[in-house]
Amino acid sequence: MRVLLIGQGAREHCIAEALNCELYSFMKTRNPGIMKLSKEYTVSELDLDKLGKFAKKINPDFAVIGPEGPLEKGVVDHLKSLDIECFGPTKDLARIETSKAFTRRLMEKYKIEGTPEFRIFSDMEGIEEYMRDINDFVVKPDGLTGGKGVKVFGEHLKSIEEALEYSKEVLSKHDSVIVEERLEGEEFSLQCISDGKHLEATVPVQDHKRAYEDDQGPNTGGMGSYSMEDHLLPFLKKRDVEEAEKITKKVMESLYKETGEYYIGVLYGGFILTKKGVKLLEYNARFGDPEVMNILPILKNNFADVCLDAINHELSGIEFEKKATVCKYVVPKGYPVNPVPGKIEIPETDAKVYYASVDLREDGLYMTRSRAAAFVGIADNIEGAEKIAQKAVEKVKGNVFYRKDIGTKRLLRKRVEHIKSLM
């Protein structure tokens, strides 16, 4: 199979490896891992015309779109207009990620469980009353913000005045702002594959958004993640995962009813287990970064076959090895507030390595200003997987840091105790 991959991060490096095909890549920066796996690649800013010409020249069996930016830009619509099939939703369907208001309205209209209390505002009218009414809330912009737009009352927003100020700022950049009930619990990611008619859930994963150990410090794109050999999480029961899958299946069906189009690609639900059950925080229209690195390396199928089955609405039988995985990101010192770019050396270890924001120059590998590389340990149990990932990050040379605590028994116990304290 000939496949065109769009994107340049560690997520796309991991997808490239799992595709196991004749690979062609279109990326913004020179990811050394994707370059090595590709028969041919183009390095360019995303330009629909340029991408279309590259795609026509290759004539792939299909294209896989990694990040959300190209989905919002309508890459799938453009490639489809050139008769190139895509694993990834059209711009209209990608609203499930690009518009939080669309998702909340859809879930409300089709009476899908797991929706917290919310209201959508297109101006400031009534917003203060609603905030005072629900008391404990979060403020979400209606649009893509690179994971940095959601602000929590009492944490990022210290007073109602600050929350109103932030809402005004959001409304100056986006069509609307969502105020919703703040939920207390443990978050987990369930990345599902959809062909529009059938849905296959993958393995639940827990990401770590905060920069520093013990969940301290600023939010990041994700410092690392883990999955368990039993395909649950220490604080999750089978019925919780089934509930998240049921919600996602209803969302997939509602998307068809609403738009008349079948959703082909990833429906990644960011869920939270609360004392009132499983609730949906948000959907993403692509794999998670880092969460994809916990699932594709243990996928038993060739991912290219899975994509083709999804495109043909024949999705079934996706299987994963009963292994635990721990992913740890190495990032430049100062990340995410004031990252210091610089040289990085990555020795061979037992962990899988996926390159992210690095630049391969004549005299070696350089970090840019974001997460540099992800290291994934895979083993029969979480202790083994954590050891492999930790040993690998310790060997990296450069002005870097990482979170030692991801995947450790101590942190897992803390998650379980947190859930117990809420029930």
Binding site for ligand GLY (CB under 6 A): 147, 207, 222, 284, 288-289, 291
Shortest reach from residue 209's CB to ligand GLY, in Å? 7
For residues 60 and 336, which CB has a smaller minimum distance to ligand GLY in the complex? 336
Token pair listed for 43: 């390095």
Q: Which long-range contacts (CB under 8 A, 24 or more apart) does 362-368 make?
A: 365/32, 366/341, 366/342, 367/332, 367/339, 367/341, 367/342, 367/343, 367/398, 367/400, 368/29, 368/341
The CB-of-223 to ligand GLY minimum distance in angstroms stands at 10
Measured from the CB atom, the residue of 55 and 298 that comes closer to ligand GLY is 298
How near is the Cβ of 306 to ligand GLY at its closest, in Å? 19
Name the token pair of 48: 């629909």
| Closer to ligand GLY by Cβ: residue 289 or 309 | 289
**Three-state SS for 246?**
helix
* Closer residue to ligand GLY, CB minimum distance, 54 or 354: 354
Three-state secondary structure call for residue 326: strand
Distance of alpha carbon 124 from the chain centroid: 31
Rg (alpha carbons) of the chain, rounded to whole number? 21
Q: In angstroms, what is the minimal distance from the CB of 346 to ligand GLY?
A: 22
Shortest Cβ distance from residue 148 to ligand GLY (Å)? 11
Q: Give CA 296 to chain center in angstroms.
A: 13
CB of 205 to ligand GLY, least distance (A): 9
In the complex with ligand GLY, the residue whose CB is nearer, 78 or 104, is 104
Angle at 306 between CA 305 and CA 310, to 5 degrees: 115
Q: Would you say 150 or 299 has its CB closer to ligand GLY?
A: 150
Could you tell me which residues come within 8 angstroms of residue 344 by beta carbon, excluding any fewer than 6 positions away?
330, 358, 365, 366, 367, 372, 373, 396, 397, 398, 400
Nearer of residues 207 and 309 to ligand GLY, judged by Cβ: 207
Give the shortest CB-222-to-ligand GLY separation in angstroms. Answer: 4
